[in-house]
Amino acid sequence: MSEYILRRVLQAFPILIGISIVSFLIVIMAPGDPLATMYPPYMLQKMDQNLIRHEMGLDQSLPVQYFSMMKKLVTGDLESFTERRPVMDAIMERLPTTLSIATLSLLISIMISIPIAIISATSPQHWIDGLIDVSSLIGISLPSFWVSLIVILVFSEKLNWFPSGGLRPIGSDTYNLVQMLPYLIMPVGILTMLSLPGLMRYARAGMIEVMRQDYIRTGRGKGLTQSIITYRHALKNAILPVVTEIGLLIPWLFGGTAIIETIFSLPGLGRLAVKAALGRDYPVILTINIFVAGLTILTGILTDIAYSILDPRIRQG
């Protein structure tokens, strides 16, 4: 197993290099000029644009620009065009916000999907099973930006239950969980609603398939109770598809929070990525893309490890 993990880690490096090259070419060749987004037109007319481009390294050839950015990224010296500070400082400053809402939504989704899958598998062809199936399809079909706007309209504008944006009260200089909780309920709830349907369908399908296996019928024939069959024998085998979905959800939650963070004005990685894309901030875009790609590879490795722990047959193979 250790050799397999080492091989996967070594394979990650050329993948990350390929992703960095593609990301660099996309952002560099996209229409727009970083200077036009950094300075108003009247200032650009009075400034030496060639000198500024030279200071930013934009007057060099594409290979030189790429290797220069990658070298600075590895050493931690890569600076944002717009914020004029190291990119890693900006990312580490915003990472806790994205990490908080992504982790909370994932944990809530897991805690809801597993019991729903058990209910659905133990009560097939019941109206509850049909309701779960229909609600999961509706959840998958709803666009996140539309749901976010509707939630803000109802719970912030009409009912005035929760603040419409931000992470903490205006004027607060501390990150107090009690103060932050009202600001997190709506974005975490929407992310949970978006990630729950897929996780619920995977868990439901896995439980239904396992409950039809021969060893489950054998357990019933021996007189085992339904709770022992479900929780001791079926759930462990049915959890494997859920592990796969969780491995896919983790990078999606980190990379897919851009819309949620932008609508709710949350200072997270997603909002930083949107701001960098609009401002043609090449170093920030490149760093975030590599970060999300590395997270995707890491979750793939962790998923394989979880598989081997849950199913010893994989280790033996």
The string of pLDDT tens digits covering residues 284-317 is: 888 888 888 888 888 877 877 777 776 665 555 4
C-alpha span between 44 and 65 (Å, rounded) = 23
Q: Is 285 within 8 Å of 277 (Cβ atoms)? A: yes
**Residue 228 banded pLDDT, cuts 50, 70, 90:** confident
Q: Is 23 within 8 Å of 289 (Cβ atoms)? A: yes
**Residue 11 banded pLDDT, cuts 50, 70, 90:** confident
Q: List all residues 6 or more positions away from 48 whose beta carbon is below 8 Å from its beta carbon.
A: none
Q: What is the pLDDT of residue 44?
A: 65
C-alpha span between 169 and 155 (Å, rounded) = 17
Q: How many residues does the chain have?
A: 317
For 161, list phi and psi in degrees, rounded to 5.
Answer: -85, -40
C-alpha span between 184 and 139 (Å, rounded) = 20
- Topology adopted by domain 92-267: MetI-like fold (1.10.3720)
Q: What is the DSSP letter of 267?
A: -
Alpha helices in the chain (DSSP H): 2-29, 34-38, 41-44, 49-56, 62-75, 87-122, 127-141, 144-151, 177-211, 214-221, 226-228, 235-255, 258-263, 269-278, 282-310, 312-316
Weakest-pLDDT range from 13-22, 119-128, 286-295: 119-128
Q: What is the pLDDT of residue 47?
A: 67
pLDDT tens figures, 154-197: 888 888 888 877 777 776 666 667 777 888 888 888 888 888 87
C-alpha span between 54 and 56 (Å, rounded) = 5
Q: Could you give the maximum distance between any two Cα atoms of the chain, in Å?
A: 87
Domain ranges of the chain: 92-267
Buried b (16+ CB within 10 A) or exposed e, 143-156: ebeebbeebbeebb
Q: Is 104 within 8 Å of 249 (Cβ atoms)? A: no
Q: Is the pLDDT of residue 140 over 80?
A: no
Whole-prediction pTM value? Answer: 0.76
C-alpha span between 317 and 314 (Å, rounded) = 5
Q: Is the pLDDT of residue 117 over 60?
A: yes
Q: What is the pLDDT of residue 10?
A: 81
